[in-house]
Amino acid sequence: MANLRDLYQELIVDHSKQPRNFRVVTDADRHAEGHNPLCGDRVTIYIKMEGERISDVAFRGSGCAISTASASLLTESLKGRTATEAENIFDNFHNLVTGAGETGPLGKLAAFSGVCDYPTRVKCATLAWHTFHAALRGAQADHVSTEKA
């Protein structure tokens, strides 16, 4: 029987090869672009809100397997959540991949629990999340870089 690490690996490979919600939200009311200048990978996150709730979230871009899987699972995890719930999941996910502290229940996002052992991959796992966070906070296009200017 596959152990948990194998199942997590399978989930990441599945989402990297067949990313969910890989599309433009044409009527998005918020979006942001994220960029990792060290590798050139880019992601754009689109959010459609209905009141306080995220009614749709999707992404486009090109990136490595970890960043693509992370963006895909982000969209699955945050669609239908309120902005406050999404902020809490963002904090928990960030703590998980950086090994910085407590995480609440993360469901499928727990597949990224091994990332904290590979510091160079933390930016891959968090690129879409920082981009999502910027989009959520601002109603206008924003630009996010994994590196300080």
Q: Applying CB under 6 A, which residues contact ligand FES?
A: 36, 39, 41, 63-64, 66-67, 124, 127
- CB nearer to ligand FES: give 48 or 123: 123
Least spacing, CB of residue 82 vs ligand FES, in Å: 28
Least spacing, CB of residue 21 vs ligand FES, in Å: 18
Tell me the two tokens of residue 119.
Answer: 């510091």
Separation of alpha carbons 84 and 86, rounded Å: 5
- CB nearer to ligand FES: give 127 or 134: 127
- CB nearer to ligand FES: give 32 or 127: 127
Phi, psi of 114 (to 5 degrees): -80, -10
- Residues 114, 5 contacting (CB under 8 angstroms): yes
- CB nearer to ligand FES: give 57 or 66: 66
3-state secondary structure 79-133: CCCEHHHHHHHHHHHHHHHHCCCCCCCCHHHHHHHHHHHCHHHHHHHHHHHHHHH
Least spacing, CB of residue 131 vs ligand FES, in Å: 11
- CB nearer to ligand FES: give 67 or 131: 67
